[in-house]
Structure 1
């Protein structure tokens, strides 16, 4: 059984003789309650090559204090982490080990650092005695747990952790007070990061044991440099959202799926930069991953859409157990889709894909254009995607409403998404013109996406209506909802020519060249 809490804290440098300033009247702080000194003993686990630490993830087994046990900390934002806690045990709990699968990939989790901390704790409370934040001065002793080698470090620091549910603005007020008292923010983001830095092997021995990375050298500021930065960013997004999907956090499946699609798109769009004989097989695996995750994501979107539609129907027109049938349908479909998503992330095929992505970054398949000027190489690639989109939208506009037109608009939507991602990838190099292009393509993609959502919703509503009729229930409401979806799709089809004209008339690909 694991518990999760959002940790919002700030750390400051300190010396043994540093005194904690009086924070009374800072924000809503009315008083400080001394809690005494607590002795903490924590052993941090990582792979031998410190993969978790490289991703700013910490995993520890700690004794002492009120929260003894296993703690996994996942970065959320600067000064913000999610802490997943599990009861004390000899081995890493399976529930926690699963959350770092994408980073560890079968490597052993071994003890790397031991931290013993004397923590002088003070509670900052409001006028009602409610806890606002915990202020502590820590005296830390670190030991590197390398075989046959003893490396140690020691330091003092001050830590301020916000209490659950309290306003983060309090930390800003406390920060101002502490800085006026002469304190500065800690250079390291965590105790583990500082311990690893201060107990690291000598540079000479490191140089002897580490080989220089293989692969071609990428010229800074070149087209290849920008595209590889974008690829690296999307790969990191896949890894970062992996534990969020496993924890069933809102929108996590969607964001992970978006990262896979962006990767596939950039491989296709910038095929003059990255060799497609290498990236196409990777793209096929990314397509598989997106499809597996899509089961969960599509279910999530569709269920929310139908729930909203039902809520808008007057009570007098809700005939039969409409909400109950939707809940039963969603529960059965949602449970299956979530299990499928997690099973995908546990699969050997997925972990092999992650290894392949790492290898691609280590030895990128650069083509001649990768060394070129991004202001020349990138607009040409974007223009081809734009022309591809135009070749799908314009024929679709001339079709009669119906299934064939729905399919054509769906293909146009996929082309709009690819063009949008092409612009986003080029934005760091091309600036505002690429931003405007991506925004225009997003407007087309959004409208076509809404249309496709309506197409999918109508199919499900028809199925639910058939099920209701077969069970002896009224199918009236399902038919009413189907008709409303049909009407909304028609409105979107009428709106599309104007949206497309607005995007097309700007001649944005030409503008990208300046």
Structure 2
């Protein structure tokens, strides 16, 4: 059975004669320190083109230690999620694992790419109640890359991984103890990247100049979320919302900062991301409306709920949600989606920047400012006209202004970034409520019509819910009026 856990760790490079400091002073009152030594042997798998590696996804089979078996590591913001599967005697990679990485590997075959043997001295820090706070691993590593880039290497490093009871402050305290000596933060993201002698920090996250770094690192974070969403979808989980948000942020950046990217490649990727987001949106819309309608029905007096209203809503919308999810899964298996994943990988290694990016911080600030002015203008127009379509356009402009402010926040000289993000997030929420009500009225009209022609049901309650949604839309318009400034 597949198991998953979140992994947050810091890595340090040390010399072979490094002395691990006394870690007991980092323990809370009543805590304890346990030590052990073990040997870990791991074989890493990837495509010939290192597609998993390019997206910071790793697949390995480990022997030794308490977690022997198959491990799949997927980026998760500043941490990683590790999916585990016990090893068996069968040859080859388990289908459960190959299925999860099919999208990232773009259906290419997987083969061993590296063998890493580690002699690990562990220091496990527990609190007074026996809860694991952190594990400090003193690793002496021997590694061999397999294939055309075959090479052997050896080094020593320290890994500090948070346990279920640890926090970022503890990571910092342990790091301070280590760096009082000769330990230094590692330039390598993983043992695999060092084995292959390849820096996994892509060009999207690594650029010359502050502005380019900010721009490309923002996009890189969205690619990570999209790739993680692919894996979780194949595992049967629900990353629909987080994946769509990442796509929106990516597309918004392509549009707001359009002058910094090759126009043809920018338009092509934007079109494909819009296509994929559309498929995900069909699922998400049903999820949102099911929750919305269930809450609305629950607040109505019992005497106004005539017939099996909740059942009609749940059964009809859930059936549509499942059909839409089936479409998404078919999409993941298609050639067009594989091409999209390959495109995102290319943008990571070689983003199509134009000469305009040399304008640096000025270009970032100007584009973000333009997005703010457009959002302000569209909101004023939408409120004056009162048209649903214009309000929806204003909502999308507010999203782009918000995401642009998020991206530009680290650029030196950017003022009041947090306040701008908060402002446009509020506009987005208010106009989002309006749009949800507009969509809801259409669905309620359809459900009410079905109920009206079904024995034992009638459309009264759906009509009441329809009127309430119209009222919600009116309230949102009024709130939007007050947001014009």
TM-score band w.r.t. shorter chain: 0.7 to 0.9
Provide the rounded CA distance (Å) in 2 between the counterparts of 1:182 and 1:450.
55
Provide the residue aligned with 1:257 in structure 2: 244
Distance 1:390 1:135, change over 3 A: closer
1:461 aligns with 2:441: no
Q: Which of the pair has more CA radius of gyration?
A: 1
**Is the contact made by 1:26 and 1:173 (CA closer than 8 Å) also made in structure 2?**
no
1:493 to 472, 477, 483: 477
Provide the residue aligned with 2:153 in structure 1: 152
1:41 aligns with 2:35: no
**Is the contact made by 1:219 and 1:371 (CA closer than 8 Å) also made in structure 2?**
no
**Is the contact made by 1:114 and 1:143 (CA closer than 8 Å) also made in structure 2?**
yes
**Is the contact made by 2:138 and 2:158 (CA closer than 8 Å) also made in structure 1?**
yes
1:293 aligns with 2:258: no
Provide the residue aligned with 2:300 in structure 1: 313
1:104 aligns with 2:105: yes
1:416 to 378, 398, 403: 398
Shift of 1:43: 0.8
The residue matched to 1:153 in structure 2 has which SS?
A: strand
Provide the residue aligned with 1:142 in structure 2: 143
Unaligned residue ranges in structure 1 (runs of 5+): 201-212, 400-404, 503-514
Provide the residue aligned with 2:84 in structure 1: 85
Provide the rounded CA distance (Å) in 1 between the counterparts of 2:307 and 2:94.
47
Provide the rounded CA distance (Å) in 1 between the counterparts of 2:229 and 2:217.
18
Shift of 1:291: 0.8
What is the TM-score when the length of structure 2 is the normalising length? Answer: 0.78
> What is the number of equivalent residue pairs in this alignment?
471
Provide the rounded CA distance (Å) in 2 between the counterparts of 1:131 and 1:434.
38
Provide the rounded CA distance (Å) in 2 between the counterparts of 1:446 and 1:277.
33
**Is the contact made by 1:24 and 1:30 (CA closer than 8 Å) also made in structure 2?**
no
Provide the rounded CA distance (Å) in 1 between the counterparts of 2:469 and 2:153.
66
1:175 aligns with 2:168: no
Shift of 1:385: 7.7
Shift of 1:451: 0.2
Distance 1:278 1:46, change over 3 A: closer
Provide the rounded CA distance (Å) in 2 between the counterparts of 1:481 and 1:130.
49
**Is the contact made by 1:20 and 1:137 (CA closer than 8 Å) also made in structure 2?**
no
Deviations 1:433-456 (A, max 9, x none): 676655544443332211010111
Shift of 1:388: 7.8
**Is the contact made by 2:16 and 2:155 (CA closer than 8 Å) also made in structure 1?**
no
**Is the contact made by 1:24 and 1:32 (CA closer than 8 Å) also made in structure 2?**
no
Shift of 1:468: 4.0
Provide the residue aligned with 1:206 in structure 2: none
Q: Superposed, which structure 2 residues align to 1:156-305 within 5 Å?
A: 157=157, 159=159, 161-163=161-163, 165-168=164-167, 171-172=170-171, 175=174, 179=178, 184=183, 187=186, 188-197=188-197, 220=209, 231=219, 234-247=222-235, 252-274=239-261, 276-305=263-292
1:449 to 413, 432, 441: 432
**Is the contact made by 1:427 and 1:435 (CA closer than 8 Å) also made in structure 2?**
yes
Provide the rounded CA distance (Å) in 2 between the counterparts of 1:25 and 1:276.
53
The residue matched to 1:66 in structure 2 has which SS?
A: coil
What is the TM-score when the length of structure 1 is the normalising length? Answer: 0.75
Shift of 1:427: 4.9
Shift of 1:70: 1.0
Provide the residue aligned with 1:64 in structure 2: 64
Which segment drifts farther, 273-282 or 169-178?
Answer: 169-178
The residue matched to 1:113 in structure 2 has which SS?
A: strand
Shift of 1:349: 0.7
Provide the rounded CA distance (Å) in 2 between the counterparts of 1:152 and 1:422.
43
